Amino acid sequence: MLQPTTIRFLKDLQNNNNKPWFDAHRNVYENAKADLQTMVGQLIPAIAAFDQPIGTLQVKDCTFRINRDVRFSKNKSPYKNNMAAYFSRGGKKASVAGYYFHCEPGKSYAAGGFYSPISPELTKIRQEIDYNFTEWKKIIDSKIFKNYFPQGVDGIESLVRPPKGYDENNPAIHYLKMKHFIVSKTFTDAELQSKTLVKDVAKVFKTIKPMIDFLNLAIE
């Protein structure tokens, strides 16, 4: 579970996203950061129970800095309004499919898949879906998968036309046009503070694992 003070800090940060306020509340931030790190430390073995390589990760391998890179952004707010962690073999910097936890008041979720694979990886994923569409459909059409993710796989953004080498009539064309392959389940602020949070997030991730395996096999 996450502490109410962590949720409150992030809510306050949304309304006071500036360095003077942050510096004045740095001790509150450090407590919130430690709170999330504790949860991540509990999630790692919970995920490793069904995805063994995750068990080698350290908390620092998964968590992100709260500072934003504003060099190329019109939004100059210095801090993120969320805290998050990414779990994959190789850690948060590895270019592979994995599991993601996002803590942001009113916008929290557990997700998984592959966000923005580079061109060679995207080509391999599309080829794997095309060649093994029956297996892909079996994963995303399973009862438990649909129960957790009724909206299905979210490409976030997709091509208007079929990618090179594929026809509009291809049965897998909906997925072949995707640039990202993500599923997610929302969590309320109350659910973030539940004693079963780690268990509940791990269940979401376990449901995503077959899709993770499919995507990572494709890029291998």
34: domain CATH number is: 3.30.930
SS3 for 139-197 is HHCCHHHHHHCCCCCECCCECCCCCCCCCCCCCCHHHHCECCEEEEEEECHHHHCCCCH
The residues that bridge with 186 in the sheet, in sequence order, are 109
Read off the pTM.
Answer: 0.95
Query: Tens digit of pLDDT for each residue in 27-55?
Result: 999 999 999 999 999 999 999 999 999 99
The C-alpha atoms of residue 148 and residue 161 are separated, in whole angstroms, by 30
Split into its structural domains, the chain has a count of 1
Range of the domain at 132: 4-219
Half-sphere exposure of 57 (CA within 13 A, CB side): 32
Buried b (16+ CB within 10 A) or exposed e, 42-60: bbbebbbeebeebeebebe
pLDDT band at 72 (very low <50, low <70, confident <90, very high): confident
Q: Is the dihedral of CA 130, 186, 195, 98 positive or negative?
A: positive
Instruction: Give the pLDDT score at 73.
Output: 84
